[in-house]
Amino acid sequence: MTSTLIGASLALLFAVSASAQTPVPVAPSVPAAADAVPAETVSIVMTTSEGPITLALEKARAPLTTANFLRYVDQKRLDGVTFYRAMNLGQGTGLIQGGPQNDPKRILKPVAHEPTSKTGLSHVDGTISLARLAPGTATADFFITIGPVLSLDAAPAGSGDTAGYAAFGHVVAGMDVVKRILGAPTSATAGVGVMKGQMIAAPVKILTVRRAQ
């Protein structure tokens, strides 16, 4: 594992670890406007060795992040990568992380950061979001939340990581696969510092990622 990957993963870890110390808040219920039009989305299917995961990417609300991810999908740069990390926060919450792990043969230029305060999205159950170090450094490593992990949303000044992480879609089918990956055995020795114990012992292969027909 490269030092860059370790740094990027640690940045994500610290944000999530803070939420593990206190009860995870429940996403508020917001009534939809009567004339609200569903946001435009793009469906993709992530076929893993544990089964398929279908996601709806928010093309209208998170256009930069979605376009970035679709570049990797259309160029088949995510075929053969893995889910390599499972962070279990307890009480049915956590996240799984996957991607090319900064493989120079796979990654493209970083994408500008789209905070949840701009997109209106939130890290509720089944959200897909980009892992990053500093805002604007994200490439293709991503994570999917299990249960609400709202500490990853953009926050008001003075209350933690104000930039948050760039949520850009949600799982529409296959949460059973996501939960199964979260429950995969982890190595007791792999990982650095606070990441120790979170690296999946036998990483789950992502066979293909394609736009849904």
Q: pLDDT tens digits, residue range 31-66?
A: 333 344 456 999 999 999 999 999 999 999 999 999
Residue 27's nearest CA partner among 156, 147, 138, 137 is 147
pLDDT at position 157: 63
- Rounded Cα distance between 53 and 21, Å, is 30
What's the pTM? 0.83
Q: How many residues does the chain have?
A: 213
Residue-wise over 1-18: b if at least 16 C-beta within 10 A, else e?
eeeebbebbbbbbebbee
Domain ranges of the chain: 3-22+40-211
For domain 3-22+40-211, the question of CATH label 2.40.100.10 is answered with yes
- Max CA separation in the chain (angstroms): 53
